[in-house]
Amino acid sequence: MNLPHDKFCILPWISLEASPIGTVRPCCLADDEILDNNGNKFELSTANFVDIQISDHMRDLRIKFLAGNRPETCRKCWNEEDAGRKSKRMHTLDRLKHSVKDEPWTTDAKPLMFLDLKLGNICNLKCRICGSWSSSQFATEELNFMPRAEQKSSHAYQMLRAGAWPRKNAQFWSQIDTVLTDIRYIEFTGGEPFMIAEHFAMLQGIVDRGIAHQVEIHYNTNGTQYPEKAIEIWRHFKTVEIAFSIDDLDQRFEYQRTNAVWTEVCDNLERFRQLRTQYPNIQLQCCSTVNVFNVRYIDQLAWWISEQNFNFVYWNIMHDAWYFSIATLPDAAKTAITHHLRFNAAPACYQQDINGVIDFMNGGASTDGSVLRSNIAELDRKRNQDLKKVAPELADILGYEN
């Protein structure tokens, strides 16, 4: 595949991401939602894919890439690349380079090949690094802790309502149907995708068309669900990647992903391993999001991961909310974590990744940690939890007192 330059990204030409609340971005890491020509956010409750792709917003983004610029909305990829890490832009090039036709790159969009579908925010967990945007449980918790008179005007209430968009809009599913013959790769994240029943009907439609053999599916799941009904559907697809979002171990995992039970997740992982032996198109992955809660312990996590026989492991970097990003930790915390990770060896296969994590952390603009500590304390009070009990080393490094 011939590209104009080595900082080129193919996603603005071939991809769209549906957010949990029905807005649209070129990809999941872009800062800016796509605007129509009147300056309003496209919403999948009314918009169609063609209008989104031919919008001035998307054309301007493509122009910037063709000119060799680094668009500001793509800063997360640039920050990771500047730290020596392989970014989503680069992963996508590797993933789809054999599927994109070798044709000139112009300001015009190409057929949609990649859909990143966050089909609402239904979720059974309320993870610390998440929020009402992506979790109905998180939104419900926020509503439960505010006066009734304030609820309907709150951000949490608006997110809870907006997150129901796939079940209110039949047009969206018709739109999906119009592009299926060109689609080669679909990501389902969430919310928790295994709890969003509509997408299984969509997949069955692909099977019924006889084109499932050319489509790869990727899931990010919290590991608490095992969808029995999906097995008969999945076996028809080219590849089904099931990526477990596992950021830590045991009680630290349960602290960070409230409502999850570590032993149940491990049991589900074993069930999926057995399923993989029956269906060779199924691959198991681990996606560990490195953030302020787990960075002190990723050497331990890496050893556990090395024993699980995953097909692929991805060390994701948390960017937003900014106070959960390791790049914003206090200088003293960065020094302590760097020392720990340098002198507590991880498996050799992940050492380069961890070195990249360290470089990314130390390359960021440090803060005094006050916003982070305040956020931790607020959730500790709401959930009757205590960081000092589950992660005393981290609490000490952060100077955290509940």
pLDDT at 153: 83
Q: What is the pLDDT of residues 53-107, one digit of tens each?
A: 999 999 999 999 999 999 999 998 998 888 888 888 988 888 777 777 878 899 9
pLDDT over 80 (residue 350): yes
Q: Is 185 helix (H, G, I), strand (E, B) or coil?
A: strand
pLDDT at 44: 84
- Residue 198 Cα distances to 25, 43, 44, 170, angstroms: 21, 19, 15, 11
Prior bond to 191 cis, omega within 30?
A: yes
Number of helices (H) and strands (E) in the chain: give both, helices first.
Answer: 19, 10
CATH 3.20.20.70 occupies which residues in the chain? 126-321
**Residue 128 to residue 141: CA distance in whole angstroms:** 12
pLDDT over 90 (residue 386): yes
Kindly report the CATH number that applies to the domain delimited by 126-321.
3.20.20.70
**Residue 2 to residue 101: CA distance in whole angstroms:** 10
Inter-residue contact 58 to 12 (CB < 8 Å): yes
Confidence of residue 339 (pLDDT cuts 50, 70, 90): very high
pTM of the predicted model over 0.95: no
pLDDT at 220: 94
Give me the chain's average pLDDT, please: 91
Mean pLDDT of 346-360: 92
pLDDT at 370: 95
Confidence of residue 52 (pLDDT cuts 50, 70, 90): very high
Structure token pair of residue 41? 């956010």
pLDDT at 148: 85
Q: What is the pLDDT of residues 129-147, one digit of tens each?
A: 988 888 888 888 888 888 8
Structure token pair of residue 245? 């979002």
Q: What is the pLDDT of residues 216-249, one digit of tens each?
A: 999 999 999 999 999 999 999 999 999 999 999 9
